[in-house]
Structure formats: C-alpha cells, structure tokens
A and B are shown apart, each in its own frame.
Chain A
Amino acid sequence: MKAAAGIDVGSTTAKCVILRDGELLGKSLNPVGVNIVRDAEEALRLALVDARLDRSEVAFVTGTGYGRYKIAFGQLTVTEISCHARGAHFLFPRTRLVIDIGGQDTKAIRVNERGEVADFAMNDKCAAGTGRFLDVCAGALGYDVAEIGPLSLEARHPVKVTSTCTVFAESEVTSHVSRGKDPKDILAGLHASIANRSLSLLQRVGIEPEVTFTGGVSRNEGMVRALSGRLRMPINVSPLSQYMGAIGAALAGADRLRGGTAS
C-alpha cells in the first residue's frame, strides 16, 4: 500500500507526517512564515527526506490546521479538531478527552471510542492561555520558551498570576519581577493560570479519562505537571504530541486510500 501524508499548518509551525499501514515512516517540523504554500511544501519535502521516500510513493496528502486551504497540492482538507481527535486516539486508543494547546488556540475535544469528535470547545478569540502567552511571558523573564517548563518545576512558592491575557500577563510578570519574586515561582504561577483556564474549557465538554495532551505546549513538562495536577489524574503525552494533527490528517488520507469512510 502506498503512503499517506498529513500536513498540519498551524500559526507558528508546519508539521508533516508520513504513514504507511499505520507505521510512521517520517516526520518534519518547520517554522511558518508568510508564505504558507512554500512552508507546507517544505514540511512535506523534509518528511520525505526523513522517511527516505520519493514523492511518487506518497499517494494521498491531507492538509489540516489554519493553513490547510493553502495546501493546494493535497487532495483533502480536514479541520485540526477532527485530526487531533483521530491522532490522539491512534496513539492512545483509550483517549476520551483531548486537550490541544497550540500557538494561538486551545481546544478541548471529547472523543468517542472510535476516535470521532463527540463535542469540542475552543478558547475565545484572543490568544489568552495559549503557547503565545508562554512565549511572551518567557521573553519578559529573559528565557527561551524551551527553558521555562523545567524551571517552573523547581518553584518553591508559586505566585498567583491572575491574568491569562497575553498582553496584561506580561505587565503582571514585570510587576512580580520588580517586587523581587523568584522567576521560577512566577513561571509556576503562569503555568497554573493556563491550567486553570484549560480546566474550564475541559469542563465545558466533560472530563473523562483518559486525557491526552497534544499541541506544541504539550512538550512543556511544567505544563504537563500543572494540568495533570489540576485534573487530578495522569495525562497521556507522547513525544509525537506536537504531530498529533498531522498524524490525524495522514490517517484520514489513509482511510481514503483504503476506500473507506474518511473523516
């Protein structure tokens, strides 16, 4: 059987995954600029290199994410909501709830036993409590975003951060810094504020184990700890969590290749 590729073009990165018979052959991740078409093509090229495949061996390309309509070389577009549900169910078949925190939005997706979307809720029109929020706050504290998760785990007296507004939180962070608070405690407070906000979104669709955490922010172990603590249950995280949308897209394409029902 030929391979299927899924390309997830999000607000900050493009991810591509190539699957054949349920086996992941290659993947890629590259930043997104103003030329979405080129970035999506680049994501596919890099994934083909990773898989050591020729383009002709990929029979179906599915686009997802906000940039999906720009993937003109693909045969199908599916929303990232369906794709994250499908991808999470593929890696963790007992998943009933997906929390996806990406660059600009947060999604709570309730899934059924077949990995289909049963209900979903998303954050409001602003980027409050998303990856962008952590980017901005990391910058305000002089850290790279990759550093802040582990640092937050070292907090001894987490501060209370009341705002999840990306703009207001930056000034709140500055105010805590000026009062001499330990940056690790501030970081723990920031992670807790996102967990609280995510919890209310999750409650809207109904919390039911197992919970799988996807999206770029799921790589942040401080966020995993904060969310798991707030939910009072373990949560599934995979090294492939950031690729969940692309995996779901590739699976939808594989369905089509098999001639079955696609998402």
Chain B
Amino acid sequence: MVERYYLQLAEAEKAKRPVAYMLVGGNLTEIVRSFGYEVVFPEIVALNCAIKHKSLDNILQAEAQGYGLDVCGYVKNDLGLQSLGGDTPFGHIPKPDLLVCSFSGCYVYIKWWEALAETLGAPLFNFDVPYQRTEKPLKEDVEYMVAQLWDFIHLLEKQTGRSFDMAELKRVLERSRRAEELWVQYLDAGRNVPSPIEAYFEAVFYMFPINVLRGTEEAVRFYETVNQEVKVRLKEGNYPVPEEKVRLVVEGVPPYTNYRTFWDFFRKWGAVSVAATYPKVGGLFDLGFVHDPARPLESIAEYSLGAYVNQSWPLRRELIKKYVHDFQADAVLIHGIKSCRSFTAGQGDLRDWLIHETGTPTLYLESDHEDPRYFAPAQIKNRMDAFFESLEQRKSTAAAGAAAVSGVRVS
C-alpha cells in the first residue's frame, strides 16, 4: 500500500496531476483530495528516509546550505532532499503545485513552508489553527477556521479551474469517518490484558493510512483487515511479546533512525506499549475529533483544533494520566527529540508531574527522530535497563508483601 502510494506520487508529474504538500497535524486531506490533488507529507517522507537510514545525507546537504545544527531534522531532511533532486529509496518525490501549511503551532514549520515557497515558487496557504486551550473547541475558533477553509476552497477552485463539489467532499468525509472509527477500535484493543497490540511501535506503522490515505476506501479496508487480525491474535493468544511484564504509555516521537534497536530495548524486558500519544499526531479521534459528513467544514475545523500537538500542556498531561488509568499501565516512557520543541518542550515537567503528582513511574529519554548523530544506544539502553529493573523490583517487593499477608511463599 505504501509502495503504491509512492509509485503514484512518482508518476504525478508525468501524468500532470496537481501535487499539494501538507503537514500531518490537523491536515486538510479531504478537501484537497476532493479537487483531485496528490498529497505529499514531507514529514512522512522524512521519517521514511530516516527509517531507511538515508536522512543523514539530506540533513548534511541542508547544513551545507547553512541550516544550523539545531534546526528540525524533518525540515533539514526535506530541504536537503529537494536540493538533491527529490529521489528516495522509495521513489521520486514530485515538486509541489501548492503548499498547505496546515499546522501553525510550530513556527519552524511556517518558516519551512515559506522556504519551500521561495525556492520552488509554489503558492502557500497558511492555515492558522488557534491553540487548543479548552477541552471542547470554542465556537469562535471553529468559525474563524471555517472562514479560512472557504478561502482555501476558493484558492483551490482558482488553481484547478474546478468548482467545489460539496457532495464529493461529504463522500470523502464519510470514508474518513469510517476509517477513523476503525482506527480507534484498533487502538482500544490495548485495554486488554495482555495487550494484543503494540500501541507505539506497531501503531506507528499502522497510522500511515489514517494520516496519508484518509478519505479513501483503501484506508477503510486496511483497518477492517487489521481489526480482524487483532481478533485472531486475541483468540490465539498471539501477543507482541511472549510474556507481557510491563504495560507502558509512551509519549513522544520515535527515533526513526534506530527504530528496531529502540523497540528491542522494550522487548527485552517484556515491555509493551498499551497506549501512546504519538500515533495521534494526525488526530485525536479517540476523543471524538472525527470527521462528520453532516457538518463537513465544522468537523474539519474541530479535527484540526484537536490534533495532539495543538493541545495545551494541561490537556496533554491529563490525557496521559487517563491513558495510564484506562489502559492499566505500570509506567510512562517519554522520548523527547532534540529537533522538535513544540512536541518536546514541557516533557521534563510532564515527567516530574507524573512522578510526583500521580505516583506513576516515568522515564525520560532523549535523542532525535531524524538525525542519527543524536542516538546514543549504550546510554539509552542503560537508562531503560535501570528503569525496567526498578519496576521489576517494585513488582517483586509488592508481590512478596502481598504473599506475606496471605501466607503464600514467593520464590
């Protein structure tokens, strides 16, 4: 499915299909697709480069152009890749006909899109998404965004020469809604003990359709298949690790450059992520931020407001606390990335809050999602080993205490 997507992108220029670049958080895929655009997500291209161990070449190219060490790895991967011609191990990335900056919570992202507009000459639409500071979206925020969506629709009409087709948008949104419900159903499987899913490492693979192919039948079919598989796993007792010992909630962007290595550090201890925030960067569908064909533009606006990184810190930390409770997690693991302040800033305080205010054992680790130079395996492993050792120790002490009370001998 991923290969087919990139193949279709590679052929877009030759087939003269218009191409829009968009960001994952709160994206406007449905509207753009209803006008016949192919959609490129440079963040996803960048993480695919990182997982294929190709991101450093692009990053070094961007640094040679003057982008500093502290600039986001996604940004440098994309700008370096553009400068090197756009060829990746998974296909050619076409140039944009339109740039849609759909997440304004990160100032660096706005500058990234401006740099692309300047170097590639494509028109730029900045979708200004107010920060989500209340549990439910505010009416005035939604109205402000719907007004912008109409501006956006008029821009698309002008660029494509096509008239906006509300009926078509509603059809696309209906498919989105179905995929979203199925995705939430998959994520909810983490509530089972033991969990039949890995809600971080596995879910990151499975979030591709919900972010990239939303609004297509293909995405709906994918999640139907996944959920069937989860049912079989539950029936057969086929779990992510043979013996689930630690249930984790994971917060933060994964180190894509060392994805398997990082995952192995969890597996060694029988640790399974039962809930995670990162697979929800595309949308907090489990909190009800789903698309609704009956309220097309309003539901798109609400969905964009509800993107995980657009949430205020008090909302984010309460959500994590709720996941710990609802998914019966033993601990929280936070992976901060040097690249992204909008995701990572505040995670140190989150760690302290979880430990001191909620009594949840929490580990904070730091590396990067794109730049392999920031991943120090020995040090990360050492911290994780020590953390899991202490969790194991607590469990065995608690078990011994319980046994002493009941008179059972623990060996």
Contacts and interface: CB of A to CB of B under 8 A. Distances in A.
A261 B386 contact: no
A261 B378 contact: no
Contact of B393 (A116, A120, A125, A206): A116
A259 interface: yes
Interface residues of B, number: 23
Contact of B386 (A114, A117, A204, A206): A117
Nearest to A82: B389
A67 to B, nearest CB: 10
Interface string A100-121: 0000010000000010111110
Given A117-B393, A261-B396, A261-B400, A82 B386 contact: yes
A116 B397 contact: yes
B394 interface: yes
Interface residues of A, number: 21
Interface string A146-185: 0000000000000000000000000000000000000000
Contact of B382 (A66, A116, A124): A66
A261 B397 contact: yes
B319 to A, nearest CB: 23
A263 interface: yes
Contacts of A80: 382
A259 B361 CA distance: 27
Interface in B341-394: 352, 355-356, 361, 366, 374, 376, 378-379, 382-383, 385-387, 389-390, 393-394
Contacts of B383: 122
Mostly helix, strand, loop or mixed at chain B's interface? helix
Interface string B258-280: 00000000000000000000000
Contacts of B356: 206
Contact of A204 (B352, B393, B397, B410): B352
Contacts of A118: 390
B167 to A, nearest CB: 55
A55 B191 CA distance: 50
Interface of B: 352, 355-356, 361, 366, 374, 376, 378-379, 382-383, 385-387, 389-390, 393-394, 396-397, 400, 410-411
A81 interface: yes
Contacts of A261: 393, 396-397, 400, 410
Contacts of A259: 411
B400 to A, nearest CB: 6
Nearest to A65: B382
B352 A79 contact: no
Nearest to A205: B355
Given A119-B355, A204-B352, A261-B400, A82 B393 contact: yes
A78 interface: yes
- Most chain A CB within 10 A, of B374, B383, B400, is at B383
Q: Which one of B376, B386, B396 has the highest number of Cβ atoms from chain A below 10 Å of its Cβ?
A: B386
A105 B376 CA distance: 14
Contacts of A206: 356
Cβ-closest 8 pairs across A and B: A81-B386, A117-B390, A79-B386, A261-B396, A79-B385, A82-B389, A116-B393, A125-B376
Given A116-B397, A261-B397, A261-B400, A125 B390 contact: no
A117 B376 contact: no
16 contacts: A79-B386, A79-B389, A81-B382, A81-B386, A81-B390, A82-B386, A82-B393, A116-B393, A117-B389, A117-B393, A120-B386, A259-B411, A261-B396, A261-B400, A261-B410, A263-B393
B386 A116 contact: no
Nearest to A105: B379
Given A79-B385, A116-B394, A117-B390, A125 B379 contact: yes
A260 to B, nearest CB: 9
B403 to A, nearest CB: 11
Nearest to B393: A116
A204 B376 CA distance: 22
Interface string A224-263: 0000000000000000000000000000000000010101
A223 to B, nearest CB: 23
Interface in A63-97: 66, 78-82
B363 to A, nearest CB: 9
A110 B97 CA distance: 56
Nearest to B410: A261
A119 B410 CA distance: 26
B352 A116 contact: no
Contacts of B411: 259
Interface string A10-49: 0000000000000000000000000000000000000000
A124 B385 CA distance: 17
A261 B387 CA distance: 17
A137 to B, nearest CB: 23
Contacts of A66: 378, 382
A12 B355 CA distance: 33
A34 to B, nearest CB: 16
Which of A119, A120, A204 has the most chain B CB atoms inside 10 A of its CB? Answer: A119
A124 B348 CA distance: 13
Given A79-B389, A204-B352, 5 more contacts: A80-B382, A120-B386, A125-B374, A259-B411, A261-B397
A125 B383 CA distance: 12
A120 B366 CA distance: 15
Contacts of B379: 105, 122, 125
Contacts of B378: 66
A80 B390 CA distance: 12
A82 B390 contact: yes
A116 B355 CA distance: 16
A116 B390 contact: yes
A120 B362 CA distance: 10
Contacts of A114: 397
A31 B134 CA distance: 58
B256 to A, nearest CB: 18
A249 to B, nearest CB: 12
Of the candidates A78, A204, A261, A263, the one having the most CB atoms from chain B within 10 angstroms of its own CB is: A261
